[in-house]
């Protein structure tokens, strides 16, 4: 399909700006002006709408069909959350207004949303306070690592290391590293969870904290989690909870009660923001009482008369991590969603997420290898090792699912399982949808035995086949340039 730039017709226009009929020359010295206008396409509104509609048809979303991408929580997000996030009372509110003298009174509704969401998330997680500032999950991790650093600095602790299990998301070690820490990996045991003995070996006075996902990326809840927390606390290390998998625990277990000190949540996983093809998300961070002073600036506080204000006077704070108050429109979606679920709805989310995952595991475990054969939480991990022996790898199974109308599961993660296939069905899917998916998985397992070539040929129904990623990386073509920026060297 042509690039939008190749559809351009000189002189064609879509949007026009009001008051553009002036003949007055532009009031800027010529020496500051660009030589040539940027080579943007020249199109009608219909051209633009058709181009992007055609592109959208080459995409697959949760609204298109089942999307069991493990660790990503691709659940259905109610449309009302999007609707309220666009209410003009919020969408048209300039973030500098509360920084104006007398401006705080003009944003009371928005500050109420931030404060109330803080309260709700704190209750759900057993934390004392949340900041809404982090702009994505990994940004929350970085903020958490900065809070860990601020805490130890305040206490005069010399700490250099953060412990991270081998099954962790790549963002954990990356976030710890860019916050200035060395990363030490802790091995999992045969049950797929942190090995307590390995932890004891790794633990010394240099340990600033430990980052954990719970349930972990294998979908397993570590029964010894509280002991682990207490061990890390013996060296004054802080326990960091990566909330990527909170969907499994809503209303069942609160990170604060299993001795975590810092929590980040991915509002775009658990709390009603669609992923948008890669963001925007939000990664609020919650902390226990002794870390509240280190939260980013500003924080929303409430006066005795019930009015809200922003507190910037916070000498121990890690400082600004976002320009303002976070991805506000995402926080607003989460607020609406939690209000709609209520205390009972939250519990039903985790119950059904876990039920759906265990149902998939039960029905597939005869056909695919199950590295950890025990009840799972919100996601289950298979290995395609049995099929790989027949020449059909996890990636081929993923592509075969595409031809059968499903988005593939996550493959090759976590790194601790060979040919990993990680399936997270989420609570919003029905048994009928799961059954259709399971039938496809069983058919693929059959074909891997009887006709592997038919699986290796997949996908055949997509606008393009398997793409040459090596060529893309070896001779990168990352932009269609116009003449003035240089030439396309491919």
Partner 1 sequence: MPFIANTDAQRREMLATIGVGGVEDLFADIPPELRCKGLDIPPGLTEQEVRRQIAALGEHNSSGLVSFLGGGFYDHFIPAALGAIVSRSEFYTSYTPYQPEISQGTLQAIYEYQSAICRLTGMEAANASLYDGGTAVYEAIMMSLRITGRRKVIVDDSVSPIYRKMVRSYTNNLGIELLETESAEGLPDRDAIAAQIDDDTAAVIVQNPNFFGCIDDVTDLAELVHARGGLLIVSCYPISLGLLKTPGEMNADIVVGEGQSLGMSVSFGGPYLGFMSTRAKYLRKMPGRVAGRTVDSRGRDGFVLTLQAREQHIRREKATSNICTNEGLCALTSLVYLSLLGKRGLVELSEVCARKADYARSLLLKVPGVTMRFPGRWYFNEFVLNLPIAGDKVIRGLFNRGLAAGFPLGRYFPEMNNCLLVAITEKRTKEEIDFLAHSLEVIL
Q: Rounded distance, CA 225 to CA 222, Å?
A: 5
Q: Of the two residues 180 and 418, which places its CB atom closer to partner 1 in the complex?
A: 180
| Footprint on residues 290-319 left by partner 1 (CB under 8 A) | 296, 318-319
CB atoms within 10 A of CB 133: 28
Q: Of the two residues 317 and 383, which places its CB atom closer to partner 1 in the complex?
A: 317
Q: Of the two residues 223 and 450, which places its CB atom closer to partner 1 in the complex?
A: 223
- Interface with partner 1 (CB under 8 A), residue from 70, 107, 210, 310: 107
Residue 57 touching partner 1 (CB under 8 A): yes
3-state secondary structure of 270: helix
Tell me which stretch binds partner 1 (CB under 8 A): 43-51, 233-241, 384-392, 447-455: 43-51
Interface pattern 411-440 for partner 1 (x via CB under 8 A): --x-------------xxxxx-x-------
Q: What pairing do the DSSP bridges indicate for beta strands 285-287 and 299-302? A: unpaired
Tokens of 228: 């682990």
Peptide bond into 280 cis (omega under 30): yes
* Contact assessment for residue 449 and residue 439, using Cβ atoms and an 8 Å cutoff: no
CB atoms within 10 A of CB 368: 25
| Footprint on residues 184-223 left by partner 1 (CB under 8 A) | 220-221, 223
Q: Of the two residues 181 and 199, which places its CB atom closer to partner 1 in the complex?
A: 181
Tell me which stretch binds partner 1 (CB under 8 A): 53-61, 197-205, 230-238, 416-424: 53-61
Q: Of the two residues 290 and 431, which places its CB atom closer to partner 1 in the complex?
A: 431
Distance in Å, CB of 320 to partner 1, minimum? 4
| Footprint on residues 65-104 left by partner 1 (CB under 8 A) | 67, 69, 72, 74-78, 80, 82-84, 86-97, 99-103
Residue 366 touching partner 1 (CB under 8 A): no
Q: Of the two residues 253 and 436, which places its CB atom closer to partner 1 in the complex?
A: 253
Tell me which stretch binds partner 1 (CB under 8 A): 112-120, 196-204, 382-390, 445-453: 112-120
Q: Rounded distance, CA 13 to CA 360, Å?
A: 52
- Interface with partner 1 (CB under 8 A), residue from 196, 206, 309, 345: 345
- Interface with partner 1 (CB under 8 A), residue from 43, 186, 381, 441: 43
Question: Could you say which DSSP state residue 385 is in?
Answer: H
Q: Of the two residues 162 and 292, which places its CB atom closer to partner 1 in the complex?
A: 162
Q: Rounded distance, CA 400 to CA 407, Å?
A: 10
- Interface with partner 1 (CB under 8 A), residue from 265, 334, 377, 455: 377
Q: Rounded distance, CA 483 to CA 145, Å?
A: 45
Interface pattern 231-260 for partner 1 (x via CB under 8 A): --------------------xxxx--xx--
Phi, psi angles (nearest 5°) of residue 390: -95, 5
* Contact assessment for residue 200 and residue 172, using Cβ atoms and an 8 Å cutoff: no
DSSP line for 410-439:
EES-STTSTTEEEE---TT--HHHHHHHHH
SS (H, E, C) 159-201: CCEEEEECCCCCHHHHHHHHCCCEEEEECECCCCCECHHHHHH
Distance in Å, CB of 452 to partner 1, minimum? 18
Q: Which of 345, 346, 285, 364 is nearest to 318 (CA)?
A: 285
Burial 38-69, CB ≥16 within 10 A → b, else e: eeebebeeebeeebeeeeeeeebebeeebbbb
Distance in Å, CB of 5 to partner 1, minimum? 7
Residue whose pair of structure tokens reads 């070690």 in the numeric block: 173
3-state secondary structure of 126: coil
Task: Tell me the site size for partner 1, rule CB under 8 A.
Answer: 208
| Footprint on residues 19-38 left by partner 1 (CB under 8 A) | 19-20, 22, 24, 26-29, 31-35, 37-38
CA distances from 339 to 90, 107, 121, 202, 255 (A): 18, 21, 11, 43, 21
- Interface with partner 1 (CB under 8 A), residue from 14, 230, 418, 451: 14
Residue whose pair of structure tokens reads 């995402």 in the numeric block: 330
Distance in Å, CB of 285 to partner 1, minimum? 13
Q: Rounded distance, CA 284 to CA 68, Å?
A: 24
Q: Which of 168, 259, 271 is nearest to 213 (CA)?
A: 168
| Footprint on residues 146-175 left by partner 1 (CB under 8 A) | 146, 149, 153, 169-171, 173-175
Q: Rounded distance, CA 459 to CA 472, Å?
A: 20
- Interface with partner 1 (CB under 8 A), residue from 115, 233, 314, 348: 348
Residue 442 touching partner 1 (CB under 8 A): no
Distance in Å, CB of 152 to partner 1, minimum? 10
Peptide bond into 358 cis (omega under 30): no
Distance in Å, CB of 234 to partner 1, minimum? 19
Tokens of 50: 């058709």
Tell me which stretch binds partner 1 (CB under 8 A): 44-52, 287-295, 381-389, 443-451: 44-52
- Interface with partner 1 (CB under 8 A), residue from 66, 117, 127, 141: 141
Distance in Å, CB of 235 to partner 1, minimum? 20
Q: Of the two residues 101 and 450, which places its CB atom closer to partner 1 in the complex?
A: 101
């Amino acid at each position: 399909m042509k690039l939008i730039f190749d559809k351009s017709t000189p002189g064609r226009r879509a949007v026009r700006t009001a008051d553009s009929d002036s003949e007055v020359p532009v009031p800027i010295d010529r020496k500051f002006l660009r030589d040539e206008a940027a080579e943007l396409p020249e199109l009608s509104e219909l051209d633009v709408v058709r181009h992007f509609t055609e592109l959208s048809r080459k995409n697959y979303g949760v609204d298109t069909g089942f999307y069991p991408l493990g660790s990503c929580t691709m659940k259905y997000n109610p449309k009302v959350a999007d609707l309220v996030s666009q209410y003009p009372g919020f969408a048209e509110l300039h973030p500098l207004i509360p920084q104006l003298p007398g401006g705080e009174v003009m944003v009371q509704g928005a500050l109420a949303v931030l404060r109330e969401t803080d309260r709700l998330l704190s209750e759900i997680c057993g934390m004392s306070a949340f900041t809404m500032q982090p702009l994505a999950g990994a940004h929350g991790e970085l903020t958490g690592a900065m809070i860990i650093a601020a805490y130890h600095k305040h206490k005069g602790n010399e700490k250099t290391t953060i412990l991270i299990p081998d099954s962790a998301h790549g963002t954990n070690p990356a976030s710890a590293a860019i916050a200035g820490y060395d990363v030490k990996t802790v091995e999992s045991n045969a049950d797929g969870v942190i090995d307590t003995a390995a932890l004891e070996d790794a633990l010394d006075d240099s340990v600033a904290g430990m980052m954990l996902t719970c349930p972990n990326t294998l979908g397993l809840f570590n029964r010894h989690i509280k002991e682990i927390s207490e061990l890390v606390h013996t060296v004054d290390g802080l326990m960091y909870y990566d909330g990527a998998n909170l969907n499994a625990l809503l209303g069942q277990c609160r990170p604060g009660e299993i001795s975590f000190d810092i929590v980040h949540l991915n509002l775009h996983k658990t709390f009603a923001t669609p992923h948008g093809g890669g963001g925007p998300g939000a990664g609020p961070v919650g902390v226990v009482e002794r870390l509240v002073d280190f939260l980013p600036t500003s924080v929303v506080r409430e006066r005795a008369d019930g009015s809200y204000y922003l507190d910037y006077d916070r000498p121990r704070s890690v400082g600004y991590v976002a320009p303002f108050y976070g991805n506000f429109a995402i926080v607003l979606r989460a607020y609406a969603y939690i209000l709609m679920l209520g205390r009972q709805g939250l519990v039903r989310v985790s119950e059904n997420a876990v039920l759906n995952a265990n149902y998939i595991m039960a029905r597939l475990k005869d056909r695919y290898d199950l590295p950890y054969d025990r009840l799972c939480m919100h996601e289950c991990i298979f290995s395609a090792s049995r099929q790989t022996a027949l020449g059909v790898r996890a990636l081929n199974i993923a592509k075969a699912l595409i031809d059968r109308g499903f988005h593939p599961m996550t493959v090759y993660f976590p790194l601790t399982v060979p040919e990993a296939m990680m399936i997270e069905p989420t609570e919003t899917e029905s048994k009928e949808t799961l059954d259709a998916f399971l039938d496809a998985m069983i058919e693929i397992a059959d074909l891997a035995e009887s006709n592997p070539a038919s699986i290796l040929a997949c996908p055949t129904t997509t606008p393009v086949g398997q793409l040459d990623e090596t060529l893309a990386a070896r001779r990168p073509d990352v932009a269609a340039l116009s003449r003035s920026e240089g030439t396309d060297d491919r």
